[in-house]
A and B are shown apart, each in its own frame.
Chain A
Amino acid sequence: MKNRSRIKLGTTLYSFTNEFHGREYDFEQLVRKVADEDLGPGLEVVGFQSIRTFPHVDDDYVRWFRGLVDECGLEPTCLGLNADVNVRRGQPMSLDAAVETQRVQLETAAKLGFKIARVQGYILGPDAYEKLLPDAERLDVKMGIEIHAPHTVHDPDIIAYREAVERLDSPYLGFIPDFSTSAVAVPPSYIAAARNAGATDAAVEEALTMWRDGMTEDRMTVFQRWVGSGIPMGGVGLLARMFGMFGRQSVEGWREIMPRVIHVHGKFYDIDANGEETAIPFRELLPMLVDAGYEGYISSEWEGHVFTDDSGFDNLRKQQKLSVEILDAAVREPA
């Protein structure tokens, strides 16, 4: 959807996991529907989700893919890569082997016309991206390290990435903030899913109290220990995962890395009856992006499919409408 700011909107097909995994829409149908519903112009895909032969693509596939995206008037923004370091039980890949898998995936990103590749901060460490920088430059594909719950910009792991990004000082290595890091509440549908799976009122209250108190990674352990003291399981397993899925970093925290942000994942969950997002502070996040001078894409990313059977398309329409309203207002009344 168009908006008055210099920030461009788009969608990641990951948002439609219920529709895709449920075999209601295939990849081509999803791309066409994104265009029909005006949820572009940006199009983001996860390689191992959307492309059967990933990371390998042949010339026919490349031609077909690029033709489809062009025909639909969409722009391939970001390809999600994964480094499957632990694919062999008990034998993690060496750094060089893992780097090689990312090199192959970067080549595929380039062939398919993506200008950005999402890489993950969980497992490889800054050295991997230093080794990949010449490939990124050669292929003209920027690597964006995603900062996603449970990480924040202040975690030691992320500080190490920040230092490397500054030291390497290349436009081909930057960050992708994922808004899951800066939640202000746990989505109601998540709590409902946990209750449905058997979590008791007492368990829900305790978890939310701990979460609101300003949770840290340790809280997951503390909560699990509390759980072990006789509270029935079932939905409690799902509850414990909230500490890893919804982060508590301030909106202002992102400002520290904005000069190195190359793409944004507009993660969101429930939109309420008033059109407001219930867990992610879009009314603060989007004006912050505008004020920081960000001019890239935001991929709307609905993740409610992890714990509900709802429709990605319904949620995307609402969230992009909300985003346009906020972005338009932000350029009319600058912060």
Chain B
Amino acid sequence: MWSTRLISDNGLTRQGDGFRLDIRFPWYRSLPLSVLRGLDLKVDEQPVAATDMTLEVNGQRFSLDDLEHRVDDWWHVLDSGYLLVDGHRLEPGSEHKLDLTFTFEIPYVANAVVPSRCVKTLEAA
């Protein structure tokens, strides 16, 4: 199921004063970033503010509130995207519970908003 793979195994990497989380688009096909409606992350039960996160896809970084305009930026179904989270320092080798809800709208039907949730405990590399 896509929700099993939403957060990649071994996907937590310390970066700067925060971390990077390797994630996958939970659907069977490629879609443009403009269909995303929500990326809600909790780390060890604490919600991460959307303003602390950017999304990196195809080597480009996007703020979460800019995504709905990104009609021509595609997230290929086999590619990882990266949630870059600032201001959350993690100890190397520490374990954390990641709880991500990824919500998007299917563009080829009407009014179909699909939430997918994945909870994984990962070690911070």
Seen from chain A, the residues whose Cβ lies within 8 Å of a Cβ on chain B are: 14, 17-18, 20-23, 26, 46, 48-49, 52, 54, 82-89, 120, 122-123, 193, 237, 305-309
Contacts and interface: CB of A to CB of B under 8 A. Distances in A.
Given A22-B5, A52-B76, A123 B28 contact: no
A48 B30 contact: yes
A307 B2 CA distance: 8
Contacts of B105: 86, 89
Contact of A84 (B68, B78, B108): B108
B63 interface: no
* Closest 8 A/B residue pairs (Cβ): A48-B29, A84-B107, A49-B29, A87-B107, A82-B108, A86-B107, A122-B109, A17-B28
30 contacts: A14-B28, A20-B77, A20-B78, A21-B78, A22-B5, A46-B29, A48-B77, A49-B30, A49-B77, A52-B30, A82-B29, A82-B107, A82-B108, A83-B108, A84-B31, A84-B107, A86-B107, A86-B108, A86-B109, A87-B71, A87-B107, A88-B71, A89-B34, A89-B105, A120-B108, A123-B108, A123-B110, A193-B1, A237-B115, A308-B1
A89 B31 CA distance: 13
Interface in B95-110: 105-110
Interface of B: 1-2, 4-5, 24, 28-32, 34-35, 68, 71, 76-78, 105-110, 115
Contact of A305 (B1, B32, B77, B108): B1
Given A49-B29, A88-B71, A21 B24 contact: yes
A123 B1 CA distance: 26
Contact of B110 (A82, A86, A88): A86
* Interface residue SS majority, chain B: loop
Contacts of A307: 1
Contacts of B2: 21
Given A48-B30, A52-B76, A18 B108 contact: no
Contacts of A122: 108-110
A122 B109 CA distance: 6
Given A21-B77, A88-B71, 14 more contacts: A21-B2, A21-B28, A22-B5, A46-B29, A48-B77, A49-B77, A82-B108, A84-B108, A85-B107, A86-B105, A87-B32, A87-B107, A123-B109, A309-B4
A21 B107 contact: no
Contacts of A49: 28-30, 77
A108 to B, nearest CB: 14
A17 B108 CA distance: 19
A52 B75 CA distance: 10
A308 B1 CA distance: 5
Contact of B78 (A23, A88, A120): A23
Contacts of A20: 77-78
Contacts of B28: 14, 17, 21, 46, 49, 305
B40 to A, nearest CB: 15
A237 B3 CA distance: 14
Given A21-B24, A21-B28, A49-B29, A87 B34 contact: yes
A122 B68 CA distance: 23
B1 A85 contact: no
Contacts of A120: 108-109
B108 A21 contact: no
